[in-house]
Amino acid sequence: MNSLYDSIKQGLIEAIEYECGNLPSVKVDKITIAPIRIYSSGEIKAIRIHQCMTQKIFAKALGVSIKTVEAWEAGTNRPSGIANRMLELLTQDNELLERCSVIARN
């Protein structure tokens, strides 16, 4: 347990030193995250249809209830951030759910 504490403590000391500019040779990876796109009800329905899925199957594939998909498509509810990100991924890769073994088409 003590070595875990020492490791965390050392990491915090190094983080402070880095922020103070005392560790200029430290390699830092900068990550840029694209903003989450907000989809309209019509776009959501188009994505589902493009996936050749019923509302029930689409809901199950995304891990939400059919009522949720119905509400998205009716415009009475909006998808959460993670759901919007998933919709974005589906628009970029039509076969994503199959490749990730979420669905299997027979």
Within 1-106, strands assigned E span: none
Domain residues for the domain of 70 are 41-99
User: Residue 89 is part of a domain; what is its CATH number?
Assistant: 1.10.260.40
Residues sharing a CB contact under 8 Å with residue 58, sequence separation 6 or more, in sequence order: 48, 51, 69
In a domain, 64, yes or no: yes
For 41-98, the pLDDT digits (tens) are 999 999 999 999 999 999 999 999 999 999 999 999 999 999 999 999 999 999 999 9
Q: How many domains does the chain have?
A: 1
Is the pTM higher than 0.85? The answer reads no
User: Which of 59, 49, 56, 60 shows the shortest CA–CA distance to 94?
Assistant: 49
